[in-house]
Amino acid sequence: MTSSDWKEKIITSLQDAGRRKFLNTAALAGLAGTGLSVGLSSCKKPEPGAAVSGAGKIGATHALGSSNVTYGEFEVPPGQLDQYYTFSSGGHSGEARVYGCPSGRLFKRIPIFNLDCESGWGITNESRAILGARADGSLKYTTGDTHHVHGSYTDGTYDGKYLWTNDKIHSRLARIRLDYMVCDKIIDIPNVQGFHGIFPDKRDPLDPKINHTTRVFCGQEFHVPQPNDGRDENDPKKYYCIFTCVDAESMKVRWQCKVDGNLDLVATSYDGTLAGSNQYNTENGVTYEEMMSAERDACVLFNIARIEAAIQSGRHYTIGDSKVPVVDGTKDANKDPKTALTCYVPVPKNPHGVNATPDGKYFVCSGKLSPTTTVIDLGLVHKWFDGALKDPRDTVVAEPEVGLGPLHTGFDGRGNAYTTLFLDSQIVKWNIDKAIAQFKGDKQVDPILDRIDVHYQPGHGFTSMGETREVDGKFFISGNKFTKDRFLPVGPRHPDQEQLIDISGDKMRLIADHSVDPEPHDSIIVKRDKIRTRQINDLNEHPLAVKDAKDCRVERKGKKVTVHLTSQAPAFGLREFTVRQGDEVTIILTNLDKVEDLTHGLAIPMYDINFVVNPQQTKSVTFKADRPGVNWVYCTNFCHALHLEMRSRMLVEQA
């Protein structure tokens, strides 16, 4: 198909969807011209008199779009709990977030790659050890860009143990332990720039007894020379991308696989045998014009067992200083399907998003610059790897036209898929079997079942339990990138929005507008009974815990001073302590309170120290006492009727 054919197709679908003319004209201009301006200035204004948000009034019936929606049935009244957790990435805030679903209430922000003075993340020694320091003691990085959060699996569903998320900026993988909902590990992924897609495996392809996550796969979006040490800078044809496998438990990088083109999102099969990644830059372009020059890009599939066998047999190399074994997954090195490590399935055009259907059969890749989604049959992919199928393209079993700018797809477990349409500002519901029948030649069948407007420009879309075998088909959340008129204005920077859609019936129903901080990308909606948190820390988990108020003391070794301190409402274990100007002071604070939710804080004026300790938790900070004088060390977290009185004096003596 030539590029003018594509424009033709787009124009046709524009005419089909004539009611969004303004948007679509802008989109068309964007696609035909500069590309990057697509749809951005084209958000629809609501009809005069239409309810802008139906979420505010309990039980009231609002006209939302064309359908009458009663929000009351989804209201979570005071004192009631949500049915689901939504775990969300925080984009360039560098954090992750925990919401309730369907309420949309924000429960927690989990600091990861960012600094957070509420918890003391990036301030305490414990969090700094996780974040990683340079030789001079400063933090290695203080920014991050989290795009995707995914949970650990047992038996094809969430086991509530871990979440993983990526830092696209600095190519780091972070793990969150879900019992405390805190980040417990961050690692650097070597040889990689623009680490974007991420997905845990769902079982082991080699050992049938291992039915839980043991690997996390990571995709590289930006191609670079390898090693990236100044060589081949002006020769983009010699830039490559790398697919990385990390051990889920040890968080060590196990292996890497070099690929042609780039990697964007990542999906894994339910049987553990395959991982896949959509590629929008098979052109190896360095400008967006180059990156969108080909009619088709690809979804590359990784044969995990073969890659690990190749590593075992020593068919690998290393890059630069990195000791990680790398195998060659490029096309040239994998011409024979029977030994190939990778299979490149052609997919139109600059695809985005690859999602595994919960029946385990397919990967669905969204076309982005093509108005289509591509359904890849994983059984046929194995046939190709067996040598029984000649052309990788023969693994494609459907390619329905869904609308403009398809990005991500969620599933309901009833055979239907829900794809976000960035340019159309819609969610489209389509049936996978019908799409397959249509692709086979049945002209009577229309796979498109329903469309609903969202406000506006959705990116990620995901369903409740939708990435598990326990998919329940109740809710879809549309992660919208633009809001404009949907909320009270807060200045030029608008909040983003996650719109909640009821997908339990034939027709989708928009049931709530939830504002969210910029900029969530991906989320997962997890049944609440999958998550079992601990409400009190274990006093023994910190080796330096101050286990008794009687153990509070100041210890000096030369210029290094350690203050062993406890907190117990409404007092710190030491009412005052004295150090000398020039001392390097470490304060170790254990919260001896055992009452759930009885958190204390510790802040020191002029020393940039601020953190909290939860019941039975210990944290520490180290700083230089460089100015003489009185410093009121105070509790920052309202803990007691005498909270304001909960203070200690740090006396810094003149040197």
- 179-208: contacts with ligand K7E (CB under 6 A): 196
The residue range among 88-96, 208-216, 507-515, 632-640 that interacts with ligand CUA, by the rule CB under 6 A, is 632-640
522 makes contact, choosing from Ca ion, ligand CUA, ligand K7E, none, with CB < 5 to 8 Å by partner type, with ligand K7E
161 versus 196: smaller Cβ distance to ligand K7E = 196
The CB-of-195 to ligand K7E minimum distance in angstroms stands at 11
Q: Is 565 in the site for ligand CUA (CB under 6 A)?
A: no
Q: Least distance (Å) from ligand CUA to the CB of residue 52?
A: 40
Task: Determine, following the binding rule CB under 6 A, whether residue 407 of this chain makes contact with ligand K7E.
Answer: yes
- Binding partner at 369 among ligand K7E, Ca ion, ligand CUA, none, C-beta below 5 to 8 Å by kind: none
Tokens of 491: 């200045």
Q: Is 569 in the site for ligand CUA (CB under 6 A)?
A: yes
Residue of the chain from 637, 648, 650, 652 that contacts ligand CUA (CB under 6 A):
637
- Taking each helix axis from N to C end, the angle separating 21-32 and 3-16, rounded to the nearest 10 degrees, works out to 170
Residue 621 near ligand CUA by CB under 6 A: no
- Determine, following the binding rule CB under 6 A, whether residue 521 of this chain makes contact with ligand K7E: yes
Cβ at position 273, least distance to ligand K7E in Å = 24
Site for ligand CUA in 573-602 (CB under 6 A): 600
Would you tell me how many other CB atoms lie within 10 Å of the CB of residue 137? 8
DSSP state of 139: B
* Best CA proximity match to 577, nearest among 522, 515, 653, 501: 653
Q: Of 343, 355, 602, nearest to 460 (Cα)?
A: 355
Is 147 one of the binding residues for ligand K7E (CB under 6 A)?
yes
| Contact call for residue 150 and ligand K7E (CB under 6 A) | no
- State yes or no: residue 646 binds ligand CUA (CB under 6 A): yes
DSSP string of 369-418, one letter each residue: TSSBEEEEEHHHHHHHHTT--S-GGGGEEE--B--SSEEEEEE-SSSEEE
Q: How far is the CB of 166 from ligand K7E (least distance, A)?
A: 9
Q: Does position 350 bind Ca ion by CB under 5 A?
A: yes
User: Which of 22, 317, 632, 638 lies at the binding interface for ligand CUA (CB under 6 A)?
Assistant: 638
In whole angstroms, how far apart are CA 295 and each of 10, 260, 276?
Answer: 14, 17, 20
Amino acid at residue number 288: Y
Residue nearest to ligand K7E (CB): 459
Nearer to ligand CUA, 248 or 552 (CB): 552
**Residue 350: which of ligand CUA, ligand K7E, Ca ion, none does it interact with, CB under 5 to 8 A by kind?**
Ca ion
CA 156 to mean position of chain CA atoms: 19
Task: With CB under 6 A as the rule, give the number of residues binding ligand K7E.
Answer: 12
Q: Which of 366, 482, 367 is nearest to 417 (CA)?
A: 366
Question: CA-CA distances (angstroms) from residue 264 to 228, 416, 623?
Answer: 20, 24, 41
Binding segment (CB under 6 A) for ligand CUA, from list 53-61, 222-230, 263-271, 633-641:
633-641
Give the Cα separation of 573 and 576 in Å (integer). Answer: 9
Amino acid at the residue 184: D
First to last CA, the chain: 79
Rounded distance between C-alpha atoms, residue 606 and residue 461, angstroms:
45
Q: Is 367 exposed, middle or buried (0-12, 13-18, 19+ CB in 10 A)?
A: buried
**Secondary structure (3-state) at 439:** helix
* 236 token code pair: 């983009």
Interacting residues with ligand K7E between 458 and 477 (CB under 6 A) = 459-460
Q: Enumerate residues 361-400 that contact ligand CUA by CB under 6 A.
A: none
Minimum CB distance to ligand CUA, residue 179 (Å): 24
Task: Rule CB under 6 A: say whether 149 interacts with ligand K7E.
Answer: no
Q: If binding is defined by CB under 6 A, does position 635 make contact with ligand CUA?
A: yes
> Comparing C-alpha atoms, which of 395, 435, 431 is closest to residue 413?
431
Structure tokens at 582: 């020039």
Q: Which of residues 286-345 bind ligand K7E (CB under 6 A)?
A: none
- Measured from the CB atom, the residue of 103 and 618 that comes closer to ligand CUA is 618
Residue 580 β-bridge partners:
653
The nearer residue to ligand CUA, 306 or 600, going by C-beta atoms, is 600
User: Looking at this protein, which amino acid is placed at residue 212?
Assistant: H
Q: Which is nearer to Ca ion, 350 or 631 (CB)?
A: 350
Specify the DSSP class assigned to residue 45: P
Contact of residue 311 among ligand K7E, Ca ion, ligand CUA, none (CB under 5-8 Å per partner type):
none
Q: How far apart are CA 631 and CA 647, in angstroms?
A: 10
Q: Give the pair of three-digit tokens for residue 639.
A: 């803990």
Which spans of this chain sit near ligand K7E (rule: CB under 6 A)?
147-148, 196, 265, 352-353, 407-408, 459-460, 521-522
Which spans of this chain sit near ligand CUA (rule: CB under 6 A)?
567, 569, 600, 635, 637-639, 643, 646
Which spans of this chain sit near Ca ion (rule: CB under 5 A)?
280, 291, 297, 350
